[in-house]
Amino acid sequence: MCGIAGIFGGPDPVLLERMTRRLHHRGPDGHGTAVVGQAGLGNTRLSLLDWEGGAQPMTGRTGLTLVYNGELYNHATLRRSLEQEGVAFQTRSDTEVLLRALEQRGLACLEELEGMFAFAFSDGARLTLVRDAFGIKPLYYALVDGGRRLVFASELKALLVDPALPRELDRTSLFEWATFRFTLGERTLFKAVRQVPPGGTLEVSREPDGTLTLRAGRHSPPRPLPLPEREEDRIKLLRERLTESVRGQWVADHPVGIFLSGGVDSSLLAALLAQGGSREIHTFSLADDPTLPDLAVSRRLSEALGTHHHEYSFEPDTLLESLPRSICSLEAPGEPTIVESAAPLIRNHVKAVLCGDGADELFAGYVIHSLPGPWLKSCMEGYNRMIRTGEIPQDECAAAKASLHAMAVPDPAAAREAVYRFFLEGQLTDAHLRVWDGGSMASGLEVRVPYLDRSVRDVAFALPWEQRIRGRVRKALLREVARKVLPASLAAVIVDRPKLAAPSAVRRTAEALDRAAREILPSDEREPHPLQRYCATPAQRILLDLFVYLFIGRGGDLPEDFRWRELYTTHRRELTEALTRV
């Protein structure tokens, strides 16, 4: 796992070096840069396979140069296939496998890749950016200098190193964030910055007049899958594909662990690993309340599976103090995450850890999937509150309006499918996966997501709704797999009970943030706040102000000894200056 950054259209080696070093936390094991014609490519590396042989940027025999952030779980199979075609390898790294595949097969090789990745490659005349099918790994880009130069990176902070990049907020994205708590499509909170979409490619070339041409493409579409007729056979199929995914993602030259939350999704992954005879398994449970029943269930499962169990409980006040650091890591106005606080501790034991994210989105595990009405009503109320201010241009709210209308159609089947797609294509990528990547990579910890395997996705997409939701039971087929895999003494306890909390959403801390926000927000403001229309609660106002202070004002750099509770006193002048730039 790594951080990548680059420039196309007259690369500046000094700027490239600065952008790359801004990502040091993502890859503390090494870094490198290379200038190839019109392209400058940089990489910081977290080595999990072939420490000596996987250094980047990596240049192939044809002059193609690659920087790559991710893991290819089927790299051994792909290597053997290429060797049969006469391709010789010099290292054991999956980076070289990807490079040789691109040299040998071009972009057609993307359909063969199983993993999580964001990468860039160039022959000096063209640059191509690629992101995995689910968007597990982030990849941002922006055009600067009047469209004559493109910069890209794994994080916004590396792009903001470039003084030519405007730090103007995108009002459409702000409206979406205020409505849904995440942004839609390729937009980001910065007007000048876009993200390569999940399953997307972007080819960049330079025209004779110096301007750049961008051509977007797609890869790895869902594959139609005929399902067996009998439910028992479908359970077997899903179990086999999950087992293959979990074991493939366990491969590394260093110890790998697993987040264990006490719910069905992570418990099933841990049990599959244990049944496969995997080497020493480290499990990690996180909470902001040591009395949560989830923790007790996780302890019992760890004991039954024989794992090395680690439990970390953080007081809400401790998590709240990490709020500025969390916003810098997530690069969004989000609440403090327990993942970001726990990552340094987990990194003492493992370099990579599996998590159960994606199962709810794929197999319809949220209450919203079976009862979307209350959530939709809440979103529409927030939408209407902003519209009633009379300050929202029509184009600013158009995308949010279209999404709400798609999910509010009278046909229940169409509405259900729209909600399913919305959470899979929106919240999963821009909210959940952002938390896992940003929160963990701030400490050089890699999070892997076995449910987000394309072969598992294909099964999930093929399921009829009655095997996603059956009566009041959500994730129906997945629960039946878990019932067969989990230890008999715990199967019913885990499968039939509701899980209370997720590591990225801690209830007590959110409540503490709301109380703190009400205490510190100034009551003597003489001028209307320029972003108040996007804030329904004091906590949202605090989060947005902190984001503006840290990213508009400071480019994502957290000042030493910064105390966020003094934002409206000690740091008020800097905040005001940043808000004027908005």
Within this chain, do residues 109 and 163 fall inside the same structural domain, yes or no? Answer: yes
Boundary of a domain, candidates 218, 247, 278: 218
Nearest residue to 232 via CA among 480, 439, 545, 457? 480
Q: Per the residue annotation, which of 2, 328, 379, 535 is the catalytic one?
A: 2
Q: What is the mean pLDDT of the chain?
A: 93
pLDDT above 90 (res 180):
yes
Domain holding 495, by residue range, is 231-366+433-507
CA dist 286 and 260 (Å) reads 8
CA dist 120 and 128 (Å) reads 6
Produce one character per residue of 339-372: b if its CB has 16 or more CB atoms within 10 Å, e if not. bbbbbeebbeebbbbbbbbbbbbbbbbbebbbeb
303 phi, psi to nearest 5 deg: -65, -40
Q: Does the annotation flag 557 for ligand binding?
A: no
DSSP state of 261: -
Question: Which residues 6+ apart lie within 8 Å of 127 measured at CB?
Answer: 6, 8, 38, 39, 120, 121, 150, 203, 204, 205
In a domain, 422, yes or no: no
At 503 the pLDDT is 43
> pLDDT tens across 367-391, in order?
999 999 999 999 999 999 999 999 8
Nearest residue to 434 via CA among 182, 66, 74? 182
The pLDDT of 456-462, averaged and rounded, is 97
And the tokens for 581?
């730039």
**Is the bond preceding residue 57 a cis peptide, omega within 30 degrees?**
yes
> pLDDT tens across 51-81, in order?
565 789 999 999 999 999 999 999 999 999 9
Lowest model confidence (mean pLDDT) among 251-265, 282-296, 463-477, 497-511: 497-511
Cα dist from 490 to 183, 294, 298, 330, 553, whole Å: 39, 13, 10, 35, 51
Boundary of a domain, candidates 472, 507, 542: 507
Within this chain, do residues 246 and 205 fall inside the same structural domain, yes or no? Answer: no
The pLDDT of 554-576, averaged and rounded, is 95
Has this prediction a pTM greater than 0.85? yes
In a domain, 225, yes or no: no
CATH number where 274 lies: 3.40.50.620
Q: How many residues does the chain have?
A: 582
In a domain, 98, yes or no: yes
pLDDT above 90 (res 35):
yes
CA dist 66 and 123 (Å) reads 9
Residue 328 annotated in active site = no
Within this chain, do residues 462 and 563 fall inside the same structural domain, yes or no? Answer: no
Within this chain, do residues 203 and 88 fall inside the same structural domain, yes or no? Answer: yes
Q: What one-letter code names the amino acid at 510?
A: A
CA dist 138 and 437 (Å) reads 8
> pLDDT tens across 536-551, in order?
999 999 999 999 999 9
**Number of domains comprising the chain:** 3
Within this chain, do residues 202 and 81 fall inside the same structural domain, yes or no? Answer: yes
Within this chain, do residues 235 and 332 fall inside the same structural domain, yes or no? Answer: yes
pLDDT above 60 (res 502):
no
Within this chain, do residues 175 and 80 fall inside the same structural domain, yes or no? Answer: yes
Within this chain, do residues 452 and 321 fall inside the same structural domain, yes or no? Answer: yes
Of the pLDDT bands very low, low, confident and very high (cuts 50, 70, 90), residue 499 is low
In a domain, 410, yes or no: no
> pLDDT tens across 302-358, in order?
999 999 999 999 999 999 999 999 999 999 999 888 899 999 999 999 989 999 999
And the tokens for 553?
């004002």
Burial of 294 (0-12, 13-18, 19+ CB in 10 A): buried
In a domain, 23, yes or no: yes
In a domain, 67, yes or no: yes
Boundary of a domain, candidates 479, 507, 535: 507
Of the pLDDT bands very low, low, confident and very high (cuts 50, 70, 90), residue 147 is very high
The pLDDT of 104-123, averaged and rounded, is 97
Within this chain, do residues 178 and 240 fall inside the same structural domain, yes or no? Answer: no
**325, containing H or E segment:** helix 323-330
In terms of DSSP bridges, do strands 200-206 and 193-195 run parallel, antiparallel, or are they unpaired?
A: unpaired
Burial of 402 (0-12, 13-18, 19+ CB in 10 A): exposed
Q: Which residue has tokens 């890749």?
A: 113
Asked whether 71 and 115 are in contact (CB, 8 A), the reply is yes
**Longest CA pairwise span in the chain (Å):** 73
And the tokens for 316?
């809400």
Within this chain, do residues 247 and 152 fall inside the same structural domain, yes or no? Answer: no
Within this chain, do residues 64 and 192 fall inside the same structural domain, yes or no? Answer: yes
Q: Which residue has tokens 């709704």?
A: 465
In a domain, 159, yes or no: yes
Within this chain, do residues 249 and 301 fall inside the same structural domain, yes or no? Answer: yes
Task: State whether residue 412 is helix, strand or coil.
Answer: helix
At 314 the pLDDT is 92
In a domain, 401, yes or no: no
